Amino acid sequence: MEYFSALLPNGIRLVHQYVDSPVSHCGVILNTGSRDEALQEQGMAHFIEHTIFKGTRKRRSFHILSRLEDVGGEMNAYTTKEETAIHASFLSEYYERTIELFSDILINSTFPDQELKREKDVIIDEINSYNDSPSELIFDDFEELIFEGHPIGRNILGTPENVKGFTREDIQRFMAKNYNTDQMVVCSVGNIPGKRFLHLAERYFSHFTENRRTFSRPTFIGNSAKSKSVEKETFQTHCLIGGLAYDVLHANRIGLVLLNNVLGGQSGNSRLNLALRERNGIAYNLESSYTAYSDTGTITIYFGTDKDNLEKAISLIKREINLLQNKLLGDIQISKAKKQLVGQLAMSQENHEDLMLTLGKSYLIYNKMDGLDVIYKKINSITPEQIRDIANEILDFDKLSMLIYK
C-alpha cells in the first residue's frame, strides 16, 4: 500500500492514503497528552480537547459544530497519556472545508469564559460518571499504583479541583509549550490525490508559526511490584494484575503483541477466556492488554468475578502464565496464533477511520508506516522460544503488581 507523505517548512508532517470511497477521513494528531502536564495542570490536555471546539476568532461554538454536520459529516477528538487528536469523517467533496476547520480550531480558538465554565461542569460530571464504573476506574488506579510519583501515572481526566481552576491563560500557556509543530501530523485516508492533499495542507497549515520541541519528557524509572486491596461497594470483585512492559521502540514489542493476543486478547479462544470463562464459568469480563508508551509500557490482566472465586481465578491465571513460560508453543499453535493476529490487523485496516488514525500515530512515532506485508514478515519471524522468553521476562509473577476492588 502506497502512502503519500510530506514535510512542511514549519515541521508539520503530512501523510495520506488514497482510497476510492465517497467517505473520507482526516485528522490532526499531536504528540501531547496528560503525561506532559505539571501536577497543578492535571486534566489540562483533556480540558483543551473539550474546549478547543467552543469558539474561534471567526466562529462560535454552534458554527464549529455545524460546519461538518450540516453536510453529513462528524467531528470527534480524544486524549491519551501521550496524544491529543481531532478528527473527522465526511463526504469526500468536503476535504477543504474539513482541513480549513481544523486549522481554524488549532490556531484561532478563543476559549470564551462562558464556554469554559459550562464545559468544566460537563467534565466534572464525566469524572463522577467514570468513578461509578469500577471496571474502567481500576485501570487508572492501577497505573497510579505502578507509576507512583510520575506524571504518566496520573489519570487523564484530572481532578474536579484542578478543572475548576483552569483559565484561558493556563490553556494558552500549555498549548504554547506543548503544541509543537514538529510534534504534529495531519493524516488522511480518502478520495483525494496526494498532490491535492498537499496543496490544501500547505494552504491551511503552512502559516502556523514554527514551534519545535525543546524539552524531553521525564523518563520513568521502574518501581517494585505492589499489591493493594480497596473496599468498594460493588457486586463483583474486580482484579487487575500487571506490570511494566516494552516501549514503542523495543525490538520485542511485536512479540509481546502476539503473546498478549494468545494470553487474553480479543478472541474467544484466548487462553484466559478458555480457562476462566469457558471451562470454569467464573468470569464474564476478562481481558489482557499491552500498552506501549514512548519510554515504557504496561501489560495488564483484568477480570471481574464473585468474591468467592477470586483466589481460584488468580490461580488459573498463574497456571496459564506458567505454561507460556515453561512450555513452548507447538508448530500448529504458533501458526494459528500468527494467522489470527495477521487477520485481526488486516480487518482493522478495512475500517478507514481506524486506518487514518493508525497512519497518523505511526508517522508521529516512527515517521513511517509499515505495510501489511512488512508487518506479516515481522510476525511470522517470531519463534516459540521468543514467546517463552518474553513471557518469562514480562510476566514474572514476582514482578507483577495487583489491585483488587472488593
Domain boundaries, the chain: 4-205, 227-405
Q: At what angle do helices 95-108 and 194-205 cross, to 10 degrees?
A: 30
| Cβ atoms 43, 399 nearer than 8 A | no
CB distance 259 to 329 below 8 Å: no
Q: What is the pLDDT of residues 194-225, one digit of tens each?
A: 999 999 999 999 999 999 999 999 989 887 89
Rounded Cα–Cα distance for residues 81 and 293 (Å): 8
C-alpha radius of gyration, the chain, whole number: 22
- The H or E element that residue 65 is part of is helix 61-69
Cβ atoms 179, 53 nearer than 8 A: no
Which residues pair with residue 305 across a beta bridge? 237
Low-confidence ranges of the chain (pLDDT < 50): none
d(CA 193, CA 360): 17
CA neighbor of 401 nearest in space, from 152, 153, 136, 142: 142
CA distances to 12, 179, 208, 301 from 99, rounded to whole Å, are 14, 18, 13, 40
Beta sheet of 297-305, edge-to-edge order: 227-230, 401-405, 237-244, 297-305, 286-292
Cα→Cα distances 236→10, 282, 310, Å:
53, 11, 10
CATH topology for 227-405?
Cytochrome Bc1 Complex; Chain A, domain 1 (3.30.830)
Domains 4-205 and 227-405 share a fold: yes
Which pTM value belongs to this model? 0.94
pLDDT of residue 1: 66
What pLDDT, on a 0 to 100 scale, did the predictor assign at position 267? 84
* Superfamily for domain range 4-205: Metalloenzyme, LuxS/M16 peptidase-like (3.30.830.10)
pLDDT digits 0-9 by tens, 16-69: 999 999 999 999 999 999 999 999 999 999 999 999 999 999 999 999 999 999
Query: Do residues 242 and 401 touch, judged by C-beta distance below 8 A?
Result: yes
- Among residues 129, 132, 125, which one has the least CA distance to residue 164? 125
pLDDT of 56: 97
Looking at beta carbons, which pairs linking 318-323 to residues 24 or more positions away fall under 8 Å?
Answer: 318/397, 319/275, 320/263, 320/271, 320/272, 320/275, 321/263, 321/391, 321/395, 321/397, 323/271
C-alpha cell at 44: 489540562
Where b means 16+ CB within 10 Å and e means fewer, 57-95 reads eebebeebeebbeeeebebebbbbbbbbbbbbbbbbebb
For the segment 328-355, what is each residue's pLDDT rounded down to a tens digit?
A: 999 999 999 999 999 999 999 899 999 9
SS3 content of the chain, % helix, strand, coil (to 5): 50, 20, 30
The stretches of 206-267 forming alpha helices (DSSP H) are 253-264
Grid coordinates standing for 202? 500547505
pLDDT of residue 80: 98
